[in-house]
Amino acid sequence: MSRDFTWIQAIAVLFDGHRLYLGARKTGTWDDAVEHLDITLDGEHVYLPADLIEGAKWTSSRVPELAVPRTKATNGVLVAVAGKFSVRANAVPITGEESRVHRYGVTADDCLAHLELAFKFDALTDDVHGVVGQTYRSDYVNHFDVRASMPTMGGDATFTTSSLFAADCSVARYGVSRGNDGAAVQSELAGTVTCASGMDGKRVMCKK
């Protein structure tokens, strides 16, 4: 049986009528001294401070509650909206050695750059859904077979949207008709993601 590897190449965050995109740029040869993160807010590029130091911060005059500080000199940020959520993101490659051992299929023009993500949400109710969101509900039951070589969740028809910024899956709780008073996080897959609530509080970390 062949395997389909899944990594998160980009996420879209919808909040208060705004659209935030956070992604890892496709690249051939990885250089960690080069910025590989791509961030836009409402279609406009977010230009992180040129001084590549940890803690350098981008803020928005239009959305003052949003801040994007660097967590590393390059390829690491914390996207935070006060009172709603924060997303810690690192852009990382699949190394040649990893690809050789696990047969990931890295090529000369694509090192499968993707995101390692950690989420924290500040005000969730039990009416939360989605691949990751449902794990926050107090009545959530984990049906994963941990003995399987590659556990799968299923339910893709329930969570699939028509595009990255479309909140039109069957369990969506965000949209104009609902007043845009919540937040939605959606991902664009590049292949296997491990998610665990190993940190304190209402958080989930996703990484290869």
pLDDT at 78: 96
pLDDT at 199: 36
Give the pTM: 0.77
pLDDT at 54: 79
pLDDT at 184: 61
pLDDT at 204: 41
pLDDT digits (tens, 9 = 90+) for 33-67: 999 999 999 999 999 887 778 788 999 999 999 99
Please list the ranges in the chain whose pLDDT falls under 50.
1-4, 176-178, 180, 190-208
| Helix (H) and strand (E) counts in the chain | 2, 12
pLDDT at 138: 81
Average pLDDT for the chain: 78
pLDDT at 149: 59
Query: What does 8-44 look like in DSSP terms, one character per residue?
Result: EEEEEEEETTEEEEEEE---SS--TTS--EEEEETTE
pLDDT at 194: 39
